[in-house]
Amino acid sequence: MPLSEPVAKRVTALNTRYKHHSATSVLEGALRDAQVGKTALVSSFGAESVVLLHLVSVIDRTTPVLFIDTEMLFAETLDYQHELTERLHLKNVKVIRASDEMKKLHDPDGTLHQYNTDACCDLRKTIPLQNALNDYDAWITGRKRYQSSTRAALDFFENEDDTRIKINPLCHWDMSDLQDYMTENRLPRHPLVAKGYPSIGCAPCTSPVKEGEDPRAGRWRNSNKEECGIHFVNGKVVRGGGVAA
């Protein structure tokens, strides 16, 4: 089935083909299947990112890896990104940032996150990523069903607004699968995990999580926000009150 076929048709065919496959097989297919097209991995280099990054490094170290630097990340995340890039011999990491023009226009003093987190995520994550993804037919994410109610029905392949394919190779994995993989492959952990951060985003909007809390409870705490906005649910981007691109 050529890339000229509609995204929805290709997604249906891919989910049927890979329905009973492992994460590794899905990832290999994503990087080599003609129905998928030009593909990049998008990584936050967060708490669980090393698993997918390691899998990609084993299959093809030249795979484009898009890292969104919001310029509000923890210093530990930036250090971890450099460490993993070197250790896994990733050959094609691309750092994505909001343009200076957009920041001067919408967040000149860097306080937008204090009163409109959706607009801040738009400015520093969603718009830069969507601009970068214009060069690709598909992108790989580390999303998993167990992470939140909005992710409970994830498939391996998704139709992103009839524009491109989104691939979730680890969608059926749970926390124990991730921990086992990290241990078996002796992979370095994000340094903030040991300090109570099981899910790591921007420093101003991420707090430690107490024992028994949802792993993502520290993201945008005390708000009804669950997603930064780079992901689509049912064909619609999860974001609000944003910034015009």
- Which CATH class for the 7-237 domain? alpha beta
Q: For residues 61 and 48, what is the distance between their CA atoms, to the nearest angstrom? A: 19
Q: Residue ranges per domain, the chain?
A: 7-237
Going by pLDDT thresholds of 50, 70 and 90, the confidence category of residue 211 is confident
CA distances from 80 to 48, 98, 112, 138, 155 (A): 12, 21, 26, 26, 29
Write down the pLDDT at residue 88: 97
Going by pLDDT thresholds of 50, 70 and 90, the confidence category of residue 239 is very low
> Quick one: three-class SS letters along 132-191?
HHCCCCEEECCCCHHHCHHHCCCCCEEEECCCEEEECCCCCCCHHHHHHHHHHCCCCCCC
Tens-place pLDDT, residues 116-158: 988 999 999 999 999 999 999 999 998 887 665 666 668 899 9
Tens-place pLDDT, residues 36-77: 999 999 999 999 899 999 999 999 999 999 999 999 999 999
Assess contact for 41 and 139: CB atoms under 8 A: yes
**Mean pLDDT in the chain?**
87
Tens-place pLDDT, residues 165-187: 999 999 989 889 999 999 999 99
Going by pLDDT thresholds of 50, 70 and 90, the confidence category of residue 236 is very low
The residues annotated as belonging to the active site are 228
Q: Does this model's pTM top 0.95?
A: no
